[in-house]
Amino acid sequence: MPMPHAPSHTTERLDHDYDGIRRAARLLQQGGLVAFGTETVYGLGGLATSPHTVERIFQAKGRPSSNPLICHFATADAAFAEIDETAPLYEMARSLAKAFWPGPLTLILPRHAESRICPAATAGLKTLAIRVPKGRAVEELLQHVGQPIAAPSANRSGRVSPSQASHVLEELDGQIDAVLDTGPCAVGVESTVLDLTGTQPILRRPGGITLEALEGLCGPINVADHMSAHSQPNAPGQAASHYAPSLPVRLNATHLFPGEAFLTFGNCIATGAVPALNVNLSLEGNVEEAAHRLFAALRQIDRSAARHNLTAIAVAPLPHDGLGRALQDRLKRAAAPRPA
């Protein structure tokens, strides 16, 4: 087994053909770390039942062990086998799974007393986040593995999530056993995280399934205030600063200062300085396209920082509803004060 920490081994690049998926499945079954694309972002996968593998996931990401991981399954039945079926919102969870899986929705529920998921994967909590992701390659991969796979986003903790295989390698090359290249992720922002551990559903993280779509099925949903200083330590994505590029980020910009890159949308224009770099998330003002491109755009601007002498990223006003809620959330955290 390679040493944890040390970038001591080669990360295999696997194509998403039959052989690549079989190889990725085998590595996972043997306790290896394999990044793979889902419909949302690339995940850093490992056996959720293996304490050693789970520890390697936390180490590779530099993630605090207090931040629990989502477990990925091939089917809803496999996922619900790990859940306490006496939970008050169990039936609601089943209906949501039926409506939205496979797809970008994660459900947090009380874990079954005999769940096989190792305690380290859930940071010792009595709850478990479950998800059945969508995408030909990831669905085939999870079927081949036949085991629950813990998979946080495949970035170093606090940084921008990866929506392409090359993004994973930028941060984790040599730290993980393989990356299964499934191309750019269709949705581009993470799954919606819905907390069903109590008697009322709570939106913990906006994501690929909109709040409007969820409310259509379960009625009004409370929205957790992540940015509040009082937010629960076990709430998803709790850190105010997250999804952070190297450059500072400024939101709702309608006036530019010299040296700023302009991350814009539709036909938004700004007064002030000429943008040092102009990146449009969707010329047509389409929020799905903007979500699909967001993380790649932040990485692209970061990479160009030296060449264009960039001082900051100014972000144009973006929509607030539908997928716009997830975009706003990610950008708000990208703009939040960074830890010293």
Q: 272: alpha, beta or left, given left = phi > 0 and alpha = psi -120 to 50?
A: left
Residue 128 is a binding residue for ligand TXA (CB under 6 A): yes
Closer residue to ligand TXA, CB minimum distance, 43 or 266:
43
C-alpha 111/C-alpha 196 separation (Å) is 11
Residue 49 is a binding residue for ligand TXA (CB under 6 A): no
Contact between 195 and 206 under an 8 Å Cβ cutoff? The reply is: no
Among 47, 48, 69, 120, the residue binding ligand TXA under the rule CB under 6 A is 69
> Residue 146 CB: number of other CB atoms within 10 A?
12
Residue 133 is a binding residue for ligand TXA (CB under 6 A): yes
Closer residue to ligand TXA, CB minimum distance, 99 or 235:
235
Site for Mg ion in 123-162 (CB under 5 A): 153
Give the amino acid at 76.
A
Alpha helices, H only, the chain: 18-29, 51-61, 76-80, 90-100, 136-145, 165-172, 211-218, 287-303, 324-335
> Residue 152 CB: number of other CB atoms within 10 A?
23
Q: What is the DSSP string of 67-130?
A: S--EEE-SSHHHHHTTB-TT-TTHHHHHHHHHHH-SSSEEEEEEBPTT--S-GGGGTT-SEEEE
C-alpha 108/C-alpha 284 separation (Å) is 36
For the bound state, the minimum distance from the C-beta of residue 140 to Mg ion, rounded and expressed in Å, comes to 24
Closer residue to ligand TXA, CB minimum distance, 168 or 256:
168
Among 102, 188, 201, 236, the residue binding ligand TXA under the rule CB under 6 A is 236
286 binds, options Mg ion, ligand TXA, none, Cβ within 5 to 8 A by partner type: none
Residue 192 is a binding residue for Mg ion (CB under 5 A): no
Residue 151 is a binding residue for ligand TXA (CB under 6 A): yes
129 binds, options Mg ion, ligand TXA, none, Cβ within 5 to 8 A by partner type: ligand TXA
Residue 24 is a binding residue for ligand TXA (CB under 6 A): no
| Stretch of residues binding ligand TXA (CB under 6 A), selected from 94-102, 112-120, 188-196, 313-321 | 188-196
Annotate each residue in 108-127 with x if it binds ligand TXA (CB under 6 A) or - if it does not, as one string. x-------------x--x-x
Nearest-CB residue for Mg ion = 153
Token pair for residue 294? 């967001």
C-alpha 91/C-alpha 77 separation (Å) is 13
Contact between 131 and 79 under an 8 Å Cβ cutoff? The reply is: yes
191 binds, options ligand TXA, Mg ion, none, Cβ within 5 to 8 A by partner type: ligand TXA
Tokens 């590029």 belong to 245
Residues in contact with ligand TXA by the rule CB under 6 A: 38, 40-41, 43, 67-70, 104, 106, 108, 122, 125, 127-129, 131, 133, 151-153, 190-191, 193, 234, 236-237
Binding interface with Mg ion (CB under 5 A): 153
